[in-house]
């Protein structure tokens, strides 16, 4: 039997990037997957790819920053799939740019709406189904920016730190019901989000590669495999934690540059 055989998972922001890779890995582990993303067409086309892996998958147009839309979408998934076992809070926006002195309310509110309130709305919606059935697992995609600062990204960093603590609170509240909550803090991953930022020059890939002991960017599949592990029975005793997956980027010496052998 596969690790997540017949489990039903919701992955937010799963039309591309890390979310899509997580959806693929969940499907390879036997889970049926509901894909949430902003546009129905992209969510459905991702779901069509996932279906080829031999599980059921459906796409839903859901803006996670809209609590009513989130509640309705969770109810629809449970009606379509019969139950819910796994929630992966992945939807995110990058918004690298102005320092605090110039940051607009719009960027602040949008960032918190998607990556903090959105996580809260999805966590709350999931409890309605997971707590009564006395089982389930929620994994939230934070970032190394939740504990390692990034000038020009105060709103992003604030949300990524917040969801680490929200995960701890959720774990403490849900453990008596047999429901676990964990977070993943990826370092720099090769995804459309990174590629857009690298192309516009707001991030410097060469510097990141020099500073990363592993000497490469992360592959979103690696985050997917970690999410599968955290949702599986193998991780039954891991609760309320945030696991970093960054090739050692946040563990380098203070000058930030790794000395490599000839
Ligand atoms: N790429 C990286 O290096 C990296 C590193 C650490 C953490 N992360 C986090 O991983 C997650 C995924 O990042 P990615 O690089 O795959 O990004 P991406 O931009 O490639 O994909 C993000 C997806 O989320 C969707 N989305 C955005 N707002 C949404 C909303 N309101 N409701 C529903 N869906 C929404 C987008 O449409 C898109 O499909 C994000 O939370 C991001 O902060 C990424």
Tell me if 178 is assigned to some domain.
Answer: yes
Q: If you write DSSP's letter for every residue of 77-121 in order, what string do you get?
A: HHHHHS---EEEE----------GGG--HHHHHHHHIIIIIHHHH
Query: Which residue segment(s) compose the domain that 186 sits in?
Result: 8-250
* pLDDT the model gives residue 254: 64
User: Is the pLDDT assigned to residue 255 strictly greater than 80?
Assistant: no
Best residue among 14, 15, 16, 18 to mutate for probing ligand 1, ranked by most atoms within 8 Å of CB: 18
Tell me if 88 is assigned to some domain.
Answer: yes
Cβ of 37 closer than 6 Å to ligand 1, yes or no, is yes
Which pLDDT tens digit goes with each residue over 12-65? 999 999 999 999 999 999 999 999 999 999 999 999 999 999 999 999 999 999
If one counts the domains in the chain, the total is: 1
Cβ of 183 closer than 6 Å to ligand 1, yes or no, is no
User: What rounded mean pLDDT belongs to the chain?
Assistant: 96
CA of 207 to the centre of ligand 1 (A): 22
CB-CB neighbours of 220 under 10 Å: 22
Taking CA atoms only, the protein residue closest to ligand 1 atom 31 is 63
Taking CA atoms only, the protein residue closest to ligand 1 atom 12 is 18
User: Is the pLDDT assigned to residue 252 strictly greater than 90?
Assistant: no
Tell me if 207 is assigned to some domain.
Answer: yes
Catalytic site residue 156?
Answer: yes
Tell me if 260 is assigned to some domain.
Answer: no
Tell me if 262 is assigned to some domain.
Answer: no
Helix (H, G, I), strand (E, B) or coil at 218: strand
Tell me if 23 is assigned to some domain.
Answer: yes
Mean pLDDT within 165-191? 98
What is the token pair recorded at 199?
């192309």
Strands, DSSP E only, in the chain? 8-12, 32-37, 57-61, 86-89, 136-141, 179-186, 242-245
- The CATH number of the domain holding residue 152 is 3.40.50.720
Which pLDDT tens digit goes with each residue over 57-100? 999 999 999 999 999 999 999 999 999 999 999 999 999 989 99
Tell me if 257 is assigned to some domain.
Answer: no
Question: Sign of torsion, CA 82 23 149 106?
Answer: negative
CA of 197 to the centre of ligand 1 (A): 12
CA–CA distance, 209 with 146 (Å, rounded to integer): 20
CA–CA distance, 38 with 41 (Å, rounded to integer): 9
Which pLDDT tens digit goes with each residue over 209-247? 999 999 999 999 999 999 999 999 999 999 999 999 999
Tell me if 259 is assigned to some domain.
Answer: no
């Amino acid at each position: 039997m596969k690790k997540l055989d017949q489990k039903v998972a919701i992955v937010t922001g799963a039309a591309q990037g890390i979310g899509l890779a997580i959806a693929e890995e969940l499907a390879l582990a036997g889970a049926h997957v509901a894909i949430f993303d902003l546009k129905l067409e992209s969510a459905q086309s991702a779901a069509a790819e996932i279906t080829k892996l031999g599980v059921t998958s459906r796409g839903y147009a859901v803006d996670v920053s809209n609590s009513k839309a989130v509640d309705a979408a969770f109810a629809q998934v449970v009606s379509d799939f019969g139950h819910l076992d796994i929630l992966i809070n992945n939807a995110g926006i990058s918004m690298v740019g102005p320092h605090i002195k110039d940051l607009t309310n719009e960027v602040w509110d949008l960032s918190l709406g998607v990556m903090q309130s959105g996580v809260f709305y999805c966590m709350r919606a999931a409890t309605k189904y997971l707590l009564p059935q006395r089982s389930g697992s929620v994994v939230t995609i934070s970032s190394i920016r939740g504990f390692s600062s990034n000038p020009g990204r105060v709103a992003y960093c604030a949300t990524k730190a917040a969801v680490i603590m929200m995960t701890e609170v959720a774990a403490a509240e849900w453990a008596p019901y047999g429901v676990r909550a964990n977070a993943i803090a990826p370092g720099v991953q090769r995804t459309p989000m990174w590629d857009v930022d690298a192309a516009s020059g707001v991030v410097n890939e060469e510097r990141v590669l020099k500073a990363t002991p592993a000497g490469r960017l992360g592959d979103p599949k690696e985050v997917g495999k970690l999410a599968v592990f955290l949702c599986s029975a193998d991780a039954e005793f891991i609760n309320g934690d945030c696991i970093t997956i960054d090739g050692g980027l946040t563990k380098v010496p203070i000058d930030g540059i790794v000395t490599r052998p000839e």
